[in-house]
Structure 1
């Protein structure tokens, strides 16, 4: 590797020194290492690359519908009316869409918002078309649930890796580089297009963009949503470059129930990543708000102390170093999300000074990774390391576990899927080539 390239890489590393004095990290965090789950994929070849995670990847019950899964009729709910007074025991103010959603069960919040925007909701006799309108105790609310909106996404015959499916939901292992839903610039070839070819989805879920005034964005893990996006059945999302597990609702009741679990933070979400460098300390909780980066509008940023000024929103992530690789040049890190902000893991990792390997947007550049690894791997492996890192064209991030309560049976379900070959290959090489 040319010396000048290494010199440039060394200069970049200075931008990402661990800001240990700034981190808001809890010193004591309960153990949350990856544990066995009921619906796990068999290991195939991935367990050899991830021996410390191999307890996850054993053969277990097959990913088929449980016999206890009840088939509930799909209800349209169009024309359903609500005429109630906001309870006097309610404290303070509450958003109109949130209050109606709490009173009308089995109807998605997106559909409630659509009803409001169509002028089908009045407060004290006055039509209100703003979903974030605040209601107070004593307000009389009249609402008529809108008709189902037709889907605008087209079905496409795209191969899908379906981990589990029943009458109400499916769990999909999304490959890297696949966009989750149609949006400007990506009208087809998305996960949603493929799912629509595989099965029908609730037409109510052609969502408009959710306002973010006071509520956490329920439908976001890692990807920003365009205002004209179509999201049939999608409860949460993964960034285009992120691989791993997504749960998709097949009816409106399931969608509303799952969305509520995300809102209440009862969904279990575990990610693994490769970082440039090793997080310090090796176990902790990052509680730093995330907002739009004022210097780069396409990315987010962790902004300490900005919550009260409205620049960012509460974001908390727990992390644990599973394994130090390449003599400290990289680490395999487990992440658990307490909130679901856009690019949350990527922004928090950058804030800690250990951006994800392959994440060019958040500082995990090829030059930075190669500079860290070059001095720590054996000479015989340097050329292969150079090739693998140079080919890595996405953040090394994989959604490895998802757990939730089944919306119809109440059964606690948990799924896991091994990382894809590109991530497994580079971990295997870093593991065996690191110097003592």
Structure 2
């Protein structure tokens, strides 16, 4: 169901100022008035004088930690991995699942190696936390745009086209490889959501092949083509605490995108389940009414048009996710009939955009716009704001980073060709 609903504003409390954007990025900030009220990312290297590089800190291994308790639930059943995670403080869910799979957990005296095994009130559970596995990813000296760093976590501004974690076809050159070099991380468990409640470009899911030896410290992720802010944990306590915030949807995240066409109405809420596209396994799809049949999972997105551009040929849109499904923004945008500019997987947007823009912009701008749109080789999607509770201090910290040059250039040109301001970012 597509419905119009108000989008609440951010509370601008406890915002830290770290460093000002470099001159080369100052023009990008003009996209979003008063963006400087947030922490802003710059293009300075991590070794610049204003970057804080913490000393090496001890990390709690938790290997051998034992749990011997009786399940006490009010009613029904609960997954074994979920119950253990709720009883063991500072240990990631993936670490608990690894312990189960290694035969280190028994229920009523019987070894259970299935993470989704259900336990009920009165069951006796014995668990020993497994050792952290050696890292398989190699450290690489890759430049990282670090927005914030302390001894517990860091926030990175991921550039477009960088893969977050190693995978077949992308074993090196990933964000994880760069983080290993920067932080000298020995081994940090990855995060896995409860019953895949939040799987998307944002968070990891139980049905993916999760391994603490492959995705160190990564609490959430962005698609290869998506740019913007990511938080990375340096220790398991921080990892588990941040993971819980993602699970509870208390992390504040704002995305901006360029769409092919203009969403109608100008703001609203899309509540349409998302599942794997039966015609294309690499693509997700919004599938109305499929939730009860198990083909898709609940997905809800809120959006707001910031500006209409190029005479209505495109729009700058703000997105906030109530859930986190794979390619959620991309799939919901396609469902609305306004796929993201540059997103060829979800709708032949180059030909669509060229057709729309060619009819709406002045002849003098057409050639330049057509060239930029034709060269756009990623979805125009950027994670602009990230806010969360610090896992150790409890302070609410928020960060923002302006869009990268490729997105900035095309927004500027589309604005020049016709701009109608609809609203400002509700975060500002």
TM-score tier, shorter chain, comes to 0.7 to 0.9
| Cα distance, 1:200 vs structure 2 | 2.7
- Give the 3 Å change call, closer, same or farther, for CA 274–216 of structure 1 in structure 2: closer
| Cα distance, 1:38 vs structure 2 | 3.0
Matched residues in 1 for 2:415 and 2:93: separation?
46
- Give the 3 Å change call, closer, same or farther, for CA 152–144 of structure 1 in structure 2: same
- Give the 3 Å change call, closer, same or farther, for CA 306–39 of structure 1 in structure 2: farther
Q: Is the 1:183–1:228 Cα contact (8 Å) retained in structure 2?
A: no
For 2:27, the equivalent position in structure 1 comes to: none
Matched residues in 1 for 2:23 and 2:206: separation?
28
Correspondence 1:53 to 2:68: no
| Cα distance, 1:76 vs structure 2 | 1.1
| Cα distance, 1:90 vs structure 2 | 2.6
- Give the 3 Å change call, closer, same or farther, for CA 51–204 of structure 1 in structure 2: closer
Q: Is the 1:270–1:336 Cα contact (8 Å) retained in structure 2?
A: yes
- Give the 3 Å change call, closer, same or farther, for CA 197–435 of structure 1 in structure 2: closer
Q: Secondary structure at the match of 2:356?
A: helix
Matched residues in 2 for 1:124 and 1:24: separation?
49
Alignment partner for residue 12 of structure 2, among 34, 58, 65?
34
| Cα distance, 1:404 vs structure 2 | 0.5
Q: Is the 1:220–1:340 Cα contact (8 Å) retained in structure 2?
A: no
Q: Secondary structure at the match of 1:39?
A: coil
| Cα distance, 1:135 vs structure 2 | 0.8
Q: Is the 2:304–2:318 Cα contact (8 Å) retained in structure 1?
A: yes
Matched residues in 2 for 1:267 and 1:114: separation?
26
Matched residues in 2 for 1:398 and 1:223: separation?
24
Matched residues in 2 for 1:434 and 1:163: separation?
33
- Give the 3 Å change call, closer, same or farther, for CA 180–64 of structure 1 in structure 2: closer
Unpaired runs of 5+ residues, structure 2, are 25-29, 421-428
For 1:275, the equivalent position in structure 2 comes to: 259
Correspondence 1:69 to 2:54: yes
Q: Is the 2:201–2:221 Cα contact (8 Å) retained in structure 1?
A: no
Tell me how large the CA RMSD over aligned residues is: 3.6
Moved more, 200-209 or 136-145: 200-209
| Cα distance, 1:216 vs structure 2 | 12
| Cα distance, 1:397 vs structure 2 | 0.2
Q: Is the 2:269–2:300 Cα contact (8 Å) retained in structure 1?
A: yes
Q: Is the 2:262–2:308 Cα contact (8 Å) retained in structure 1?
A: yes
- Give the 3 Å change call, closer, same or farther, for CA 346–260 of structure 1 in structure 2: same
| Cα distance, 1:287 vs structure 2 | 1.3
Matched residues in 2 for 1:90 and 1:302: separation?
36
Unpaired runs of 5+ residues, structure 1, are 1-21
- Give the 3 Å change call, closer, same or farther, for CA 114–31 of structure 1 in structure 2: same
- Give the 3 Å change call, closer, same or farther, for CA 321–200 of structure 1 in structure 2: same
- CA-to-aligned-CA distance 1:173-220 (integer Å, 9 cap, x gap): 000000000001100000000111101336142679986489999437
Q: Is the 1:39–1:413 Cα contact (8 Å) retained in structure 2?
A: no
| Cα distance, 1:289 vs structure 2 | 1.1
Q: Is the 2:95–2:189 Cα contact (8 Å) retained in structure 1?
A: yes
- Give the 3 Å change call, closer, same or farther, for CA 237–222 of structure 1 in structure 2: farther
> How many correspondences in the alignment?
410
Matched residues in 2 for 1:423 and 1:228: separation?
34
| Cα distance, 1:288 vs structure 2 | 1.1
Matched residues in 2 for 1:224 and 1:334: separation?
32
Matched residues in 2 for 1:297 and 1:253: separation?
36
| Cα distance, 1:122 vs structure 2 | 0.6
For 2:425, the equivalent position in structure 1 comes to: none
Q: Is the 1:160–1:194 Cα contact (8 Å) retained in structure 2?
A: yes
Matched residues in 1 for 2:257 and 2:11: separation?
14
Matched residues in 2 for 1:411 and 1:63: separation?
26
Q: Is the 2:137–2:177 Cα contact (8 Å) retained in structure 1?
A: yes
Matched residues in 1 for 2:39 and 2:246: separation?
28
Matched residues in 1 for 2:111 and 2:209: separation?
31
TM-score by length of 1: 0.85
TM-score by length of 2: 0.86
| Cα distance, 1:71 vs structure 2 | 10
Correspondence 1:429 to 2:413: yes
- CA-to-aligned-CA distance 1:275-312 (integer Å, 9 cap, x gap): 00111111111111111011111010111111111111
Matched residues in 1 for 2:375 and 2:202: separation?
33
- Give the 3 Å change call, closer, same or farther, for CA 131–58 of structure 1 in structure 2: closer
Matched residues in 2 for 1:263 and 1:282: separation?
29
Moved more, 104-113 or 304-313: 304-313
| Cα distance, 1:26 vs structure 2 | 3.8
Matched residues in 1 for 2:180 and 2:52: separation?
25
Q: Secondary structure at the match of 1:171?
A: strand
- Give the 3 Å change call, closer, same or farther, for CA 223–80 of structure 1 in structure 2: closer
Moved more, 155-164 or 203-212: 203-212
Alignment partner for residue 44 of structure 1, among 18, 22, 27?
22
| Cα distance, 1:74 vs structure 2 | 2.0
Matched residues in 2 for 1:308 and 1:314: separation?
10
Q: Is the 1:291–1:303 Cα contact (8 Å) retained in structure 2?
A: yes
- CA-to-aligned-CA distance 1:334-373 (integer Å, 9 cap, x gap): 0111111110100010111110000000115211011111
